[in-house]
Homo-oligomer: A and B are copies of this chain.
Amino acid sequence: MSWVEGSAGSPYGVHNLPYGVFRHAGAEPRIGVRIADHVFDLAGAERAGLILAGDALRAPTLNAFLALGRPQWTAVRRRIVELLTGDVHRAAVEPLLVPLAEVDLVRPFDVADYVDFYSSEHHAGNVGQIFRPGQPPILPNWKHLPIGYHGRGGTVVVSGTPVVRPSGQRPSKDGPVFGPSARLDIEAEVGFVVGVPSALGEPVGVEDFAEYVFGVVLVNDWSARDIQAWEYQPLGPFLGKSFATSISPWVVPLDALADAWVPAPEQDPPVLDYLRDVPHLGLDLRLAVDWNGRRVSKPPFATMYWTPAQQFAHLTVNGASLRTGDLYASGTVSGPDRGQVGSFLELTWGGAEPVTLDGGDTRSFLLDGDTVTISGTAPGPDGTTVGLGEVTGTIHPARPA
């Protein structure tokens, strides 16, 4: 038990301790961990000699810390728990707690490469039915490999960053027209943050997942469906996705998710050897999507067909190297029911079945001024809950042409 006020029973108690980067009172960005409704200033703690991490915690991003690797991640975590639980260090630590309400949270790490997978069978099936009616919704390759592609690392932004409605080419009966996207959507996903780099030409395997991956963030991969539909043949999504991808400010370490692993859905046909993870486990992360304050969906991450370790192994099986700060997202998380889908494309079935929000507003896709918040929790030790924080964003009008 921590002595920090409010930590008992909090989803952000000492069993969680997610890492972020905050600004306080106009100072430069600093690394901290969240504990209840406070941020523990780790830069200050390292400077005071309370934690030893070779200056990595005094940087303005998590990258140097992420690069240290699992033994150091675990050692630092143990030390933070010590500092926040015993009375020995309380006098030294208390001045380093900053109320969460007083800080601005910035993007916690510099993103190297951003990869987006497509690993929910329900999502792929829904999208297939909507976009290719009358054809088999799941393509022949889908159950053999985790389909994925590279997105734009430079437009990954922290939760709260305004999302300007993108303009682009949209199809029409008379050929393409230029203008603001009329089918602006979300994708509720979970992102995995790579800490330890790997060498070019040397694959890392399913069994190496926890050695390289530090933790998770929530992801909203904003998508302009009309732009995407017109551009994506034959090389995949480009401008329909690259305008913004939002992530939650707190990176929840895998160490906090030890109780969240659950058997993943059985895979049939059997996968090739390099994708065989034994045990075959997914994470029981429970997401929620709020549209202008109304909870419209609860996507269950445990239903994902491809596991985080399989995505990890696939990503490098061709010898592609990993860098500190690589981010790979799961793809849209959709469960079997309409109330469990991770995109509005699915929620409104391609716009054909609008939803009603609070106050009686109806929506097919996002309107200017709309706010979407994705939050999540996971089971923690001894019946506790691990909070995954939230990723939120508000749509701003398109720039005048």
Residues of A within 8 A of B (CB): 112-113, 115, 118, 139, 141, 144-145, 147-155, 157, 161-162, 164, 166-169, 175-178, 200-203, 224, 227, 230-240, 242-244, 269, 272-274, 314-315, 317-323, 326, 396, 399, 401
Contacts of A237 in B (CB 8 A): 149, 235-236
Q: How far is the CA of A155 from the CA of B319 in the complex (A)?
A: 9
Q: Known: A144-B169, A175-B269, A232-B234. Is A320-B239 also a contact (CB below 8 A)?
A: yes
Is the pair A152, B150 in contact by a Cβ cutoff of 8 Å?
Answer: yes
Q: How far is the CA of A393 from the CA of B325 in the complex (A)?
A: 28
Contacts of A233 in B (CB 8 A): 139, 141
Contacts of A147 in B (CB 8 A): 231, 234-235, 238
Which of A152, A175, A230 is the most central at the interface, judged by chain B CB atoms within 10 Å of its CB? A152
Contacts of A317 in B (CB 8 A): 167-168, 239
Q: How far is the CA of A139 from the CA of B171 in the complex (A)?
A: 14
Contacts of A401 in B (CB 8 A): 274
Q: Known: A150-B149, A319-B243. Is A235-B234 also a contact (CB below 8 A)?
A: no
Q: How far is the CA of A203 from the CA of B179 in the complex (A)?
A: 13
Given contacts A167-B317, A239-B314, A239-B320, could you give 14 more A-B pairs where the C-beta distance is less than 8 Å? A141-B176, A144-B175, A144-B176, A145-B176, A149-B237, A149-B238, A150-B150, A150-B242, A167-B203, A168-B317, A176-B272, A232-B234, A235-B237, A243-B320
Q: Known: A153-B153, A238-B150, A317-B168. Is A178-B243 also a contact (CB below 8 A)?
A: no
Nearest chain B CB to A136 CB, angstrom units: 12
* Cβ-closest chain B residue relative to A178: B272
* Cβ-closest chain B residue relative to A326: B154
Which of A154, A155, A169, A224 is the most central at the interface, judged by chain B CB atoms within 10 Å of its CB? A154
Contacts of A112 in B (CB 8 A): 153-154
Is the pair A155, B272 in contact by a Cβ cutoff of 8 Å?
Answer: no
Is the pair B242, A168 in contact by a Cβ cutoff of 8 Å?
Answer: no
Contacts of A318 in B (CB 8 A): 166-168, 224, 227, 239-240, 242-243
Q: How far is the CA of A178 from the CA of B319 in the complex (A)?
A: 14
Q: How far is the CA of A169 from the CA of B317 in the complex (A)?
A: 9
Contacts of A176 in B (CB 8 A): 141, 144-145, 272
* 9 nearest A-B pairs in the assembled complex, by CB-CB distance: A236-B236, A164-B201, A166-B318, A150-B150, A149-B235, A239-B318, A235-B236, A243-B318, A242-B320
Contacts of A177 in B (CB 8 A): 272
* Cβ-closest chain B residue relative to A331: B235
Is the pair A231, B145 in contact by a Cβ cutoff of 8 Å?
Answer: yes
Nearest chain B CB to A242 CB, angstrom units: 4
Q: How far is the CA of A385 from the CA of B396 in the complex (A)?
A: 50
Contacts of A148 in B (CB 8 A): 235, 238
Q: How far is the CA of A237 from the CA of B147 in the complex (A)?
A: 10
Contacts of A167 in B (CB 8 A): 203, 317-319
Contacts of A326 in B (CB 8 A): 154
* Cβ-closest chain B residue relative to A233: B139
Contacts of A175 in B (CB 8 A): 144, 269
Q: Known: A144-B169, A149-B150. Is A164-B118 also a contact (CB below 8 A)?
A: no
Q: How far is the CA of A240 from the CA of B238 in the complex (A)?
A: 17
Contacts of A321 in B (CB 8 A): 154-155
